[in-house]
Amino acid sequence: VPASGLGTRLGTADPKALVALAGRPMVLRAVDGLLGSGVVDGVVVTAPPGRLAVLRGLLPPGGVVVVVDGGVDRVESVHAALRHVDEASVILVHDAARCLCPAAVVRAVVEKVRTGHDAVVPAIGVADTLKRVGPDGHVDATVDRTGLAAVQTPQGFSPEVLRAAHARAVADRLAGRGVPATDDAGLVEAIGGAVVTVPGDPRAMKITTPLDLAMAEALVTAGPVPR
């Protein structure tokens, strides 16, 4: 669980993962969601800068959850966490900021990896009409939505493939050829790996802005709502 971001777009004083959503810090909700899925045996969380001790104090003792320092960006944070994952048949990477992801999505991702897929992402259709817009604000084209999807986390991987993808990403960076990747599946694609999807869920939304946080709070307080 990469949770080392600052939450600049959220704009809170505390780093985003530590911001409470309906009274409970997002990172704790994210970890609870994983452990509550019944298919996750251990969690490694990367702490926001300077918050290692704070986060360790919040999480339950007993070794199921390990807290380590993250890195300067998401790739580095995931890489740091991977160093603390030893034996695993499946590795999930899950944004702390997607803390309301339903357990069914977690289980679907794990099951798909177990059926022999190296990289699995939850995906949902795009509802808005998409246009390519130039820097001057002029519409260049309407993008055909067919075949487009928004992808979420947790993303699931066979450990060898995820480690290979990260090793390559880090090596490319050191060589000055790093490409910015906003998800781990993208790193697998970059090494030629196949990525497949399972149905995502709107509740696995990434909380990025104050509006997202307000909507997530409304979801939690509303209780079960239809999709």
- In the range 69-128, which residues lie near ligand CTP by CB under 6 A? 70-74, 77, 95-97
Instruction: Indicate which of ligand CTP, Mg ion, none lies near residue 9 (CB less than 5 to 8 Å, by partner kind).
Output: ligand CTP
Least Cα distance to 59 among 45, 49, 48, 41 occurs for 45
17 binds ligand CTP (CB under 6 A): yes
In the list Mg ion, ligand CTP, none, the entry touching 208 (Cβ below 5 to 8 angstroms by class) is: ligand CTP
The pair of three-digit structure tokens given for residue 90, joined into one six-digit string:
């499946």
CB of residue 93 to Mg ion, shortest distance in Å = 15
Nearer Cβ to ligand CTP, position 98 or 117?
A: 98
Looking at beta carbons, which residue is closest to ligand CTP?
5
Choice between 5 and 193, CB closer to Mg ion: 5
Which of ligand CTP, Mg ion, none does residue 186 bind (CB under 5 to 8 Å by kind)?
none
Of 3, 185, 196, residue with least CA distance to 92: 185
Which of Mg ion, ligand CTP, none is residue 102 near (CB under 5 to 8 Å by kind)? none
Residue 6 interaction partner, one of ligand CTP, Mg ion, none, beta carbon < 5-8 Å per kind = ligand CTP
Q: Does 159 bind ligand CTP (CB under 6 A)?
A: no
* Token pair for 205: 């939304």
Structure tokens at 177: 């050829």
Sketch the per residue contact string, 1 through 20, with Mg ion: x for CB under 5 A, - otherwise.
----x---------------
Beta strands 149-151 and 119-125: pairing type?
antiparallel
Residue 127: which residues within 8 A CB-CB, separation 6 or more? none
Residue 178 makes contact with ligand CTP by CB under 6 A: no
Cα separation, 85 vs 42, in Å, equals: 9
Residue 113 CB, nearest distance to ligand CTP (Å)? 21
Beta strand 155-157 with 130-133 is: unpaired
The phi and psi torsions of 93 (rounded to 5 degrees) equal -115, 125
Name residues contacting ligand CTP, limited to 24-53 (CB under 6 A).
46
- Give per-residue burial for 110-142: e unless 16+ CB within 10 Å, then b: bebbeeebbbbbbbbeeeeeeeeeeeeeeeeee
What distance in Å separates the CA atoms of residue 69 and residue 10, rounded to the nearest whole number? 21
Positions in the binding site for Mg ion (CB under 5 A):
5
Positions in the binding site for ligand CTP (CB under 6 A):
2-10, 16-17, 46, 70-74, 77, 95-97, 206, 208
